[in-house]
Amino acid sequence: MFSTPSELEQWLASNNKEFKLYSDYFLETDKGEKLENGIQVIKRLGLANQAVLFSSASDNSAVIEEASEIGVPVWSKSQFFEAKIIKGDNIS
């Protein structure tokens, strides 16, 4: 789980594991500062083939169009019924 794009970038630099990235569209710091949106981060890092965008904006046509331009599926947050976070060496 990453709080900022830079944390994701640091993890990518030191890991070569296969993964699926689930990103929100709206990204901001814990102080409320706006960051790149999830699609911009996915595009910039070249992760479109292994990413899913989930967002409360999943019904926003501009968000859907922006995601489809790079081939990223968009899921509504309601499609996530249960999440389990695994930390440390237990990540598979």
The torsion angles phi and psi of 91, rounded to 5 degrees, stand at: -75, 130
> Using one digit for the tens of pLDDT, what is the confidence trace for 11-37?
999 988 888 998 888 887 667 677 788
Rg (CA), the chain: 13
Does this model's pTM top 0.85? no
Min mean pLDDT across 26-35, 41-50, 59-68, 70-79 is at 26-35
The pLDDT confidence band at residue 80, using thresholds 50, 70 and 90, is: low
Looking at residue 40, its pLDDT comes to: 93
CA–CA dist 12, 15 (Å, integer): 5
Cβ atoms of 52 and 79 within 8 Å: the answer is: no
CA–CA dist 38, 41 (Å, integer): 5
Closest CA to 75 of 63, 85, 86, 83: 63
